[in-house]
Copies of this chain bind each other. A is one copy, B any other.
Amino acid sequence: MSIRDDFPILNRKVNGESLVYLDNAATTQKPQIVITAMNDYYQNSNANVHRAVHTLAGEATEGYEACRNELKNWFNAGRVIITSGTTESINLVAHAWARANLVAGDAVILTEMEHHSDIVPWQLLAQDIGIELRFVSLNEDLTLDLDAFEASLVGAKLVACVHTSNVLGIRNPIEKIIKMSHANGAKVLLDSAQAVPHEKIDFKDLDADFLACSAHKMCGPTGIGCLLVKEDSFNQMQPFMGGGDMIQTVTISGSTYQENEHKFEAGTPRIAEGVGWAAALKWLSKIDLHSEHLRLLEIARWTAQQIKDIPGMTVFGRHADGDSAVVSFIHDSVHPEDMARLLDARGIAIRTGHHCAQPLMQRLGVEGTMRVSFYLYNNQAEAELLIETMKGIVERFS
């Protein structure tokens, strides 16, 4: 059995051609086992999880909390708050931690390669409580300017930094960033949406204060993600959303809150999604992520080189060890959207646009790029088909 056999969607035909799905940085496909787990949940165990006494409620509770346990094991993390995704996780840090622990004038450090989800929450907070935002610039080769980063740290209370860029595939030197930040008394929030699918992370070892990620980018369902939090920061967090399940007692005159992660999980949780994510983690744990990472990176390097050799093409990113298997590029006469539609006519799915990283687009001097991104079920043959098809398109339409 190959990995591909686990993914039913790969049997899909698009415009009469076999699907070649190269849009994995946007979202990944799901192995059958994940789909089946959610199916089974709905067909056999669906119930709400609060105060489970009856059998189904017990099963639902076990299923949902198993997700948290899987995540704790997967990441070697003590505190795992389940959210609807990376975006909500980052907003949770802004509301539950930053709002309670930062004051006007405190600096939050961002980078020029952040995803909007790690920019806008801080801009909204800045408007509200007057924190200062500092954007660290990039070097010529589009890596983070660590000197500029170091200089920015004076007076910084939080560094919110993308772990691996969704546009460039560049993995930031987060280990260094964490050390430098801590040495300057700043906490670190990692936006690991793109890193988590490609590298196994040991949260305790890494020593970051917060880490945000989404299930849907690592073979799990939509609608669920998590925030890992270090114990001391966890204890500094104030409730964000209020509601059922996050409380200990509610009276008309005031309420007390849960002491564990439930404090930040108001309302009926994402139960089926938790069951699905747990199944995805179990599936992933059978795969040697590191050797897959090397395989995919090789394909990305080959693809980047081939694209560079097509007349009129410019490729962004460096594809160094540890970078993710993402290739962003533009052509000097074929518009990204046209390229994507033409590739789609041959069943090849790529993404175009600003990839929710407009400040980076400005830095690159473009409005948007084409982007191909590889994941576990992709192979060299698909990359070759992509290149061949693109060459034909450029010849015919440029």
Which 8 pairs from chain A and chain B are nearest by CB? A87-B267, A120-B242, A117-B243, A87-B243, A26-B48, A54-B349, A223-B270, A244-B356
A356 and B252 within 8 A (CB) = no
Cα distance, A382 to B176, chains bound together (Å):
63
**A271, CB-defined interface residue at 8 Å:** yes
- The stretch that binds B, out of A15-23, A302-310, A323-331, is A15-23
Q: Which of A37-45, A145-153, A384-392 contacts B (4 or more CB under 8 A)?
A: A37-45
Interfacial chain B residues near A358, Cβ < 8 Å: 249-251
1/0 contact trace for A330-374 toward B, CB 8 Å?
Answer: 000000010011011000111111001011001000000000000
A273 surroundings in chain B (CB, below 8 A):
222-223, 273
With A84-B267, A221-B272 as known contacts, state yes or no: A344 contacts B119, CB within 8 Å: no
Q: Contact flags (1/0) for A244-276 with B, using CB distance below 8 Å?
A: 111101111011000000000011111111000
* A84 and B48 form a contact (CB under 8 A): no
Please give the residue numbers on chain A whose beta carbons come within 8 Å of chain B beta carbons, in ascending order: 8-9, 12, 14-15, 19, 21, 23, 26-27, 29-30, 34-35, 38-39, 42-48, 50-51, 53-57, 84-88, 90-91, 94, 112, 115-117, 119-124, 133, 135, 214, 216, 221-224, 239, 241-247, 249-252, 254-255, 266-273, 337, 340-341, 343-344, 348-353, 356, 358-359, 362
Complex: A34 Cα to B46 Cα, angstroms:
13
Please measure, in the bound complex, the distance between the C-alpha atom of A344 and the C-alpha atom of B267, giving whole angstroms. Answer: 25
Contact at A250–B120, with CB atoms within 8 Å?
yes
Q: How far is the CA of A359 from the CA of B254 in the complex (A)?
A: 10
Identify the closest chain B residue to A241 (Cβ).
Answer: B91
Interface of A: prevailing SS: mixed
Residues of B close to A124: CB separation below 8 A: 239, 242
Our pick among B30, B46, B116, B254 for the contact of A46 (Cβ within 8 Å) is B30
Whether B245 and A356, one on each chain, are in contact in the complex, defined by CB atoms closer than 8 angstroms, is yes
